[in-house]
Amino acid sequence: MKYAFKIASVWGIPIELHLTFILLMAGVAVLSYPDFYLFTLILFLFVFVLVHEMAHTFVARHYHIRVRKIVLYPIGGVSEIEEIPQTPSIEWRLAIAGPLMSFAIGAVLLLANVVIQVAAPRTPIGASLATAGNLMLDLAVLNLLLGGFNLIPAFPMDGGRVFRAFLAERMKFTDATKYASYIGRLFGIGMVVFGIVFTTYFLLIIVGLFVYVGATEEAEQTIVSTNLAGVRVSDVTCAEIGAVSPETTLAEAMETMFKSRYHDTIVEKDGVYQGVVVWEELMKVKPEQQSQLRVGQMPLRKVSVFSDESVLEAQKIMSRERVSVVPVVEKKNPDKVTCVLTTEGVAASLKRAKNLR
């Protein structure tokens, strides 16, 4: 995602912090001088948003759904999953996990506040709001607001996904996505208008724009992906690119890649498919060694698809393995490559899927 920076990794999942969160931290640090209490709350918000997203990730792992990465925003996070669950019961469980975690943390902090009260400065927030003067209470409210805000039925927020799951039990998944997207955009427009009319809540303008753009883009992506699932690999024109053998030098393999216009190529030995050697691995080798080392000495990615599989599955493989080609093999003989599906073929399928909307 643009303007996001990796800060950590959990369960092998990259955690990224969006630029807007960094700017918010910097702005609040200046405004909260000299006691920096608001800045302290923003740091806690960062932790709470991360825990909120990890709840989504935990449920996704339970259902064997791969999470590519987590991006943290001031108003919540986004867990980028490899496959959007089209089973409503799974989607609403996945969506509700984050808000429930935020509510649970808020409830625990409210109970803790009864026993342990930590005094904090009363700091004004805008023209009519102020902190409670109690750290535990402020942190509890922060979590309750985070959970409640994300439950607004505005797609692509958690509440919007729960709403789509509710609709998907009663209509086609693509139609449910369209209606949820419409509602999300209406909420976004409403937030922008409210922020313009009541300038005290000017931040709602930014949030509204985020919701509107997110609803539009995710709906587009979801509908196209759903349609793409109906396009078979056999419906796409496959390419024939030059193959190399395990005995080919890296320099010769790079020449083959240049000629075929793809920075990856398949490896075959006596007509038997061995895997895909990728440009990224070759570039790690020093130039003076490229004419000495053989392809067979490099790590190969054993990826392939059958002709009756969906192009969507091939696209997932390309994204996950970071390859530009996926060999199409015979079902009866998976070691026999019939042709190669390329990024150009997938792009053509995406264009076709968009026209099916």
Tell me which residues are annotated as active site: 53
Give the gyration radius of the chain's Cα atoms: 25
What six digits make up the tokens of 10?
Answer: 């959990």
Residue among 165, 216, 162 at smallest CA distance from 187: 216
Contact 268, 329 (CB under 8 A): no
Element spanning 81, H or E: strand 76-81
State whether residue 302 is helix, strand or coil: coil
Q: Rounded to whole angstroms, how far apart are CA atoms 232 and 234?
A: 5
CA distances from 101 to 95, 148, 169, 189, 200 (A): 11, 11, 25, 28, 29
The tokens describing 136, both together, are: 């535990």
Strands (DSSP E) along 84-192, which ranges?
Answer: 124-125, 129-130
**CA-to-CA distance for 98 and 58, rounded, in angstroms?**
10
Structure tokens at 62: 């339970």
In sequence order, which residues have a C-beta less than 8 Å from that of residue 194 and are 6 or more positions away? Answer: 201, 204, 208
**HSE toward the beta carbon, residue 253, CA cutoff 13 A:** 31
Query: In degrees to the nearest 10, what's the CA dihedral of 147, 153, 158, 163?
Result: 130
Angle formed by the axes of helices 203-228 and 173-197, to 10°?
170
Q: Is the peptide bond before 156 cis (omega within 30 degrees of 0)?
A: yes
